[in-house]
Structure 1
Amino acid sequence: MTDLRNYNKQFIIEFIELYRSYPCLWKVKSTKYSDRDKKNKAYEDMIRKLQEVDDSATRDSVKKRIDSLRGCFRKELKKVIQSNKYGSGTEDIYKPHLWYYEYLLFLTDQETPRSTVTNIGDEASNNEDGSNYIPVQSPTSPFEIDVADRSPSVSSNTPSAPSSVSSSNSTKKRRVKERADEVLEKVNAKLDMYEQEDRFTVVGKNVSKKLRDLPPDAALMAEKFIPDILFEAALGNI
């Protein structure tokens, strides 16, 4: 099995959470990112995790599966950013269909949708950790690039544009900037939420989702057993 998305959801969540716990593998601006010893230790843990479902797992296969997850996330992120940019209201904002999209939101400021950057062929390359992406300072970079690309070229030989055209360009820039600020606020709010979460919070949410899908009687029994199991675990009987 070469595609991580074919594994069960619980394993993928745990795999992503383990990856998130090692900023040395994904946070480019972190001092840990250039620490090879920390990276080697992190990859050893990632390999052991992947070997739970793939006995032949290697560092290379871990990188490929991470890149697969990030590639799907990057496509959805691009659609979200574009819908925030051009949509006229909240109903126009794209809702990601990727079920693990929210689990990867911690990568938002590490990803740039490719179509919003020019000359990528010369600038993009596979990073040492195997992820094929372009690090940026903030999620608003696509908007900043877009504003620059749309700005009219002016040379010393070009007559000055009419004031109405100049006013129109200023209005468009202001609207784009306002949309960018809105997106940044939403992304930051999401990131703040995930900063406060740990793997137990994620597991709790996953359990609650499963309970909602159970028949009422089965959900009631599960609610009874879960506290009992936790109580026995706290006593050291498990």
Structure 2
Amino acid sequence: MAVVWSNDKIMQLIELFQSKPLLWDCSIKQYKDRNKKNDAFEEISQVLNIPKKDVETKIHVLRTQFTREKKKMSAKKTTGSGAIEKCKWIYYEPLEFLLCGATTSGETDTMNKTVDENNALESGMESEPSQSPRPNATTSTSSRKRNKTDESNEILEVLKSAKKKMDEREKKDPFDIYGEYIAAELRSVKDDQAVTQAKYHINNILYELKMGRYNTYGYQTASSHPSSTPNNVQETEIREIERHETNRLDALRDETEDSAILNLVNYLSDESTQ
């Protein structure tokens, strides 16, 4: 519950504050003793029956306002504007004891030093909520535009990737396709020794292929006769493998195209709803 400060209550606070020089007279030794200053604030809090934090805050506000009023009075003196008027703030005269506390130390800038500390504290208290500014409409709009641009670039990259794969697919001949099939099959095997053995047999087959072993009239032993049946069977198997791999790559291409188109449709749909 917020504390209501009446004029009488404020005057009582000023009197209690004045009775504790260690809180405002920086010329005395106890002024730098935080424990004693804390005890002094606690005593004022108990007399007024107001929480110590509220007492400290109110005193801070009074001292800050007093400093401002003093600067106004000093400005009127330096400009030579005629007769000096009394300050209209009702608490200025009751707080003039602060000037005594500022000069008894013999330092001309003591009051200014105390004032600067108070102003710094007040500035910190006032600026604290501004650390998390609310986003305005312009910021939100710019953010949405950046997000849309990022989404557009992402979709464009997907479409470029799909087109690149399609172009690569058109450039491939049956040997490229079959080579990819062999590579995919080898990758699916987790046993390194089995892969090594498979590579060995594949290399042997390629060697025999180059030597004419699998030609229509491949090399034969002296007692053997050429036979087209094994070669026909092998050719059929190879064509079946090529057909299977071609279908698999076509399905992969279609899946990539469908995914790119779906992303584009979703993006355009989001654009139309905003």
- TM-score, normalised via structure 1 length: 0.40
Q: Which has the higher helix share?
A: 2
TM-score (norm 2): 0.35
Larger Rg, first or second structure (1 or 2):
2
